[in-house]
Structure 1
């Protein structure tokens, strides 16, 4: 016979909790002492109550379905295929190939990969024939392919459209001809890595996607959104939830019946060259946020990705972080794991409300492409990035090992296989590009210059 062990306790309203807290503060101002404001303008309270979550936003975040994805840059087809097969044996569940040109033997690249494995193709070019080839293979082998083709994202990052064709005409041709794969992607990671705040990231991703909905009437396949996840743990969970929620609202207006397919990876913005092992702690919490927020696939960033070329050890550690989260921390056992967390549900609603308002403002002023051409988007991201940079430079935003408790004995100049800073590349562009930049770059350059002195 069951009994209610707590029936003698009456419900306590949020008002009563606040009164008790105010009493404990002994005259200190509640708002000044305990409420802080995020860069998005959200006032974060010291506690959340069911009173705050009566109309909670509850998007579908199936954490049990997230796939551990391995990123592979294709230079040599045989080596890339061998690496894919090896990583699949070692725990990867999906593969993403990054291709720089269409002159690739796709059948050889995919040789031995089971049809149950989801394969992503991140294309740095646009080719109708190449996507048709992938579509034919997907149909023949009943494979699950996601083609990350994003002309608007390329324009935003590079400053120019893909050369050699009318970008939207090519997409419409692909949409009609290719019905066995997802062919379209939105790279929202660019906005996070360049310094946009969370509301901007969501709104720009939606406005970016809306340009495709407006221009491709036959968009019947799932749309992939690539998201970079930052270190603000609960806010990042809420970010993905709000993105799913708002995408569903917008897609419904176009008769698009699919949820967005989210592929998430840790941000580079807070990663550091010095005390690089701390990057593993950062990527662990970021991957956790991605999973709990409902990402369909997660690609972890190796701890040494800033300064080392792709290598077996770094890749293995990054993959093992996800394996621990899935098989030892059981992050794949519960769907919608954030439901019932009043804090996350309230954050989700507030982020969604603010992002929707910004999205509507973008659309009222000509849409995302028009605001890119007017440099409005670039200016807004730059303003947010400057605010965050000032917090880092003043020590209010902390990166351990860099602007807090640095190890003065660290030496990195001898270990650089890659250039870890923004590269200057003066050239003519159609629009001003959005440029990703890490917070620690200036400080790291100063330390490296000191190392080089005798």
Structure 2
């Protein structure tokens, strides 16, 4: 482009813009008339200008995101077959979920070395995990061991606090430059109704518990290193979700720098389940596309899309293929490869990143001041704050301030779903004794969905 074209435009300062806005508002202050404030207390102004622009500096090295797919291991051979077909279809990262130990060799048979392997377990076994680490040493592997995340979600440790941390400490020796053993499940905070600031503040305090334990037991006199994979759920607030991931990298880098701790941060992101609907389910594809874009632009290393029918259908080839193709289109046809740098310099996104980072850091410091994340979790303070935010969000949905098309606006009354349900799409009640009140994910449209199912002819 010929730079001389810009010589025809006279620069306009931020002060001049504000004066023009005030003139059009007939003397009223624009920040009182046009500015809004979020639940987190972040003020959204009508203009952002170079004069007050401040770029947020964080560890966001250029990288291309990997297309991920989640596969449940019920039968090792079936899971392996699904994985190999997904890889042929363009998947670059496989997230295996398992409720118990499995045959590693069968599950990973003929999986190419260049494929990133991720795991999520509903159990904790030092011997199995050690075998898995040894078997996958040539892969880039993320085990996502998160004993505190399990406590928050289930209300109990895998076994006991002492035994769980004993396994944690035993696995520390397996940390490497290529693979990451430990994870932080921040997705459950979003899916349960936490605000963006809460998600980052809680995830930071959550990880800080591990870091504290690591620093207390490590014998390394010089460089200390502890790497993490953080799982985030991405909601529909497009620019805020982009800024959320950027802000987390910023505060994580800052805290680790203060502790003189080397920490490679890998972020895996997937669309939130909180705003997914049972009726008019094709709109879920629109939501997951937008949310995947936020994850990519925010700098996620791996993006695992959510199938449009995942809340009511068992895993199926069609739904998974559509979810995979959404990411392939974004990466290959929409030119979003290496897109995590695209938003750098956007005054609005940089402003949001700075505000979210500062407010979440304040929340983190408050948690640490009051004894740390585990103590606050045991006291129920973390759960209560999420519940308060979730209740407010639910109220906004109920009164129509939060819109889910096809559910609480532009509803297709002839749409029926009773005969489509293969999975129970609501919060399951499973009375059991727990150490703490669990943090339970819940969709916004559950009540409306239940009412419509009851009223179906």
- TM-score grouping bracket, smaller chain normalisation: over 0.9
1:435 aligns with 2:440: yes
Distance 2:50 2:427 in 1: 46
The structure-2 alpha-carbon separation of the partners of 1:172 and 1:162, relative to structure 1 and needing over 3 Å to count, comes to same
Distance 2:446 2:61 in 1: 36
| 1:243-270 Cα shifts (integer Å, max 9, x gaps) | 0111111122333323311000000101
Distance 1:430 1:301 in 2: 31
Contact 2:299/2:339 (8 A) holds in 1: no
Q: Which runs of 5+ in 1 are unaligned?
A: none
| Alignment partner, residue 141 of structure 2 | 145
Quote how far apart the aligned CAs of 1:28 are: 5.5
The structure-2 alpha-carbon separation of the partners of 1:160 and 1:433, relative to structure 1 and needing over 3 Å to count, comes to same
Quote how far apart the aligned CAs of 1:125 are: 1.1
Between 1:173-182 and 1:104-113, the stretch displaced more is 173-182
Which of the residues 164, 167, 187 maps onto 2:164?
167
Contact 1:61/1:292 (8 A) holds in 2: no
| 1:406-452 Cα shifts (integer Å, max 9, x gaps) | 1111111111111111111111101111111111111111111111x
1:311-350 alignment, distance < 5 Å: 311-350=316-355
DSSP 3-state at the match of 1:70: strand
| Alignment partner, residue 79 of structure 1 | 78
Quote how far apart the aligned CAs of 1:39 are: 1.6
Quote how far apart the aligned CAs of 1:6 are: 2.3
Which of the residues 189, 195, 198 maps onto 1:197?
195
Quote how far apart the aligned CAs of 1:334 are: 4.0
Distance 2:264 2:13 in 1: 36
| 1:54-98 Cα shifts (integer Å, max 9, x gaps) | x32133445642100010000000010011000000011110100
Contact 1:71/1:299 (8 A) holds in 2: yes
Contact 2:241/2:298 (8 A) holds in 1: yes
| Alignment partner, residue 13 of structure 1 | 13
DSSP 3-state at the match of 1:352: helix
Quote how far apart the aligned CAs of 1:27 are: 5.0
Distance 1:317 1:203 in 2: 34
| Alignment partner, residue 398 of structure 2 | 393
Q: TM-score, normalised by structure 2?
A: 0.94
1:115 aligns with 2:113: yes
Distance 2:46 2:99 in 1: 49
Contact 1:63/1:293 (8 A) holds in 2: no
Distance 2:381 2:340 in 1: 38
Quote how far apart the aligned CAs of 1:32 are: 4.5
Contact 2:143/2:182 (8 A) holds in 1: yes
Distance 2:408 2:308 in 1: 18
Contact 1:264/1:298 (8 A) holds in 2: yes
DSSP 3-state at the match of 1:226: strand
| Alignment partner, residue 298 of structure 1 | 303
Contact 1:81/1:108 (8 A) holds in 2: yes
Distance 2:202 2:364 in 1: 7
DSSP 3-state at the match of 1:122: strand
| Alignment partner, residue 156 of structure 1 | 152
Which of the residues 431, 435, 450 maps onto 1:426?
431
Quote how far apart the aligned CAs of 1:356 are: 0.4
Q: TM-score, normalised by structure 1?
A: 0.95
| Alignment partner, residue 247 of structure 1 | 252
Q: Which runs of 5+ in 2 are unaligned?
A: 219-223
| 1:210-235 Cα shifts (integer Å, max 9, x gaps) | 00001123473420100000000000
| Alignment partner, residue 46 of structure 1 | 46
Distance 1:213 1:436 in 2: 26
| Alignment partner, residue 187 of structure 1 | 185
1:279 aligns with 2:275: no
Distance 2:174 2:55 in 1: 41
Contact 2:175/2:227 (8 A) holds in 1: no
Quote how far apart the aligned CAs of 1:23 are: 1.9
| 1:271-330 Cα shifts (integer Å, max 9, x gaps) | 100110000000001000000000000000000011000000000000000000000001
Contact 1:63/1:331 (8 A) holds in 2: no
Distance 2:175 2:361 in 1: 32
| Alignment partner, residue 221 of structure 2 | none
| Alignment partner, residue 57 of structure 1 | 56
| 1:21-71 Cα shifts (integer Å, max 9, x gaps) | 222234555235421211211111112111232x32133445642100010
Distance 1:2 1:409 in 2: 57
Contact 1:181/1:221 (8 A) holds in 2: no
Between 1:233-242 and 1:125-134, the stretch displaced more is 125-134
Distance 1:342 1:416 in 2: 45
DSSP 3-state at the match of 2:269: strand
The structure-2 alpha-carbon separation of the partners of 1:337 and 1:190, relative to structure 1 and needing over 3 Å to count, comes to same
Distance 1:416 1:40 in 2: 37
DSSP 3-state at the match of 2:289: helix
